[in-house]
Copies of this chain bind each other. A is one copy, B any other.
Amino acid sequence: MTDIHTIKSYDDELDQLRAILSEMAGLAEMQLANAVTALMARDIKLAEKVIASDKKIDFLEQRAEEKAIEVIARRAPLADDLRELVATIKISNALERIGDYSKNIAKRTTVLVNTLPIRQISVLPEMAQEAQRMITDVLDAFIQRDSTRAVNVWARDERIDLLYDSLFRELLTYMMEKPQIITACTHLLFIAKNIERAGDQATNIAEIAYYVIEGRPMKDARPKRDDTAFARASKDEQPHPDQQDSAS
Q: CA of A142 to CA of B92 in the docked complex: distance in angstroms?
A: 23
Q: CA of A142 to CA of B107 in the docked complex: distance in angstroms?
A: 33
Contact A110 B172 (CB under 8 A): no
Q: Tell me the count of chain A residues lying within 8 A, CB to CB, of chain B.
A: 54
User: Closest residue to A181 on the B side, CB-wise?
Assistant: B176
Contact A233 B108 (CB under 8 A): yes
- CB A209 to nearest CB in B, in angstroms, measures 16
Contact A82 B93 (CB under 8 A): no
* Residues of B close to A65: CB separation below 8 A: 86
The segment from A23-31, A72-80, A153-161 that touches chain B is A72-80
- CB A56 to nearest CB in B, in angstroms, measures 10
For this chain, the copies found in one complex come to: 2
The listed residue (B55, B78, B100, B108) touching A73 by CB distance below 8 A is: B78
The listed residue (B103, B179, B187, B239) touching A239 by CB distance below 8 A is: B103
* Residues of B close to A104: CB separation below 8 A: 233, 236-237, 239
- CB A167 to nearest CB in B, in angstroms, measures 12
Q: CA of A111 to CA of B54 in the docked complex: distance in angstroms?
A: 36
* Residues of B close to A182: CB separation below 8 A: 172, 175-176, 182
| A 173-203 to B, binary, CB cutoff 8 A, 1 in contact else 0 | 0011001101100110110011001000000
| Given A108-B233, A176-B179, A176-B182, A100 and B238 contact (CB-CB distance below 8 Å) | yes
Q: Is A49 an interface residue (CB 8 A)?
A: no
Contact B244 A54 (CB under 8 A): yes
- CB A103 to nearest CB in B, in angstroms, measures 7
User: Closest residue to A83 on the B side, CB-wise?
Assistant: B69
Q: Is A97 an interface residue (CB 8 A)?
A: yes
Q: Is A58 an interface residue (CB 8 A)?
A: yes
Q: CA of A99 to CA of B183 in the docked complex: distance in angstroms?
A: 29
* Residues of B close to A63: CB separation below 8 A: none
Contact A183 B179 (CB under 8 A): no
Q: Which 3 A-B pairs have the closest CB atoms?
A: A107-B233, A76-B76, A176-B179
Ordered by A's residue number, 18 sampled pairs between the chains whose C-beta atoms are within 8 Å are: A58-B241, A58-B244, A65-B86, A69-B82, A72-B72, A73-B82, A76-B76, A97-B238, A100-B237, A100-B238, A103-B236, A103-B244, A104-B236, A104-B237, A107-B230, A168-B186, A175-B179, A190-B193
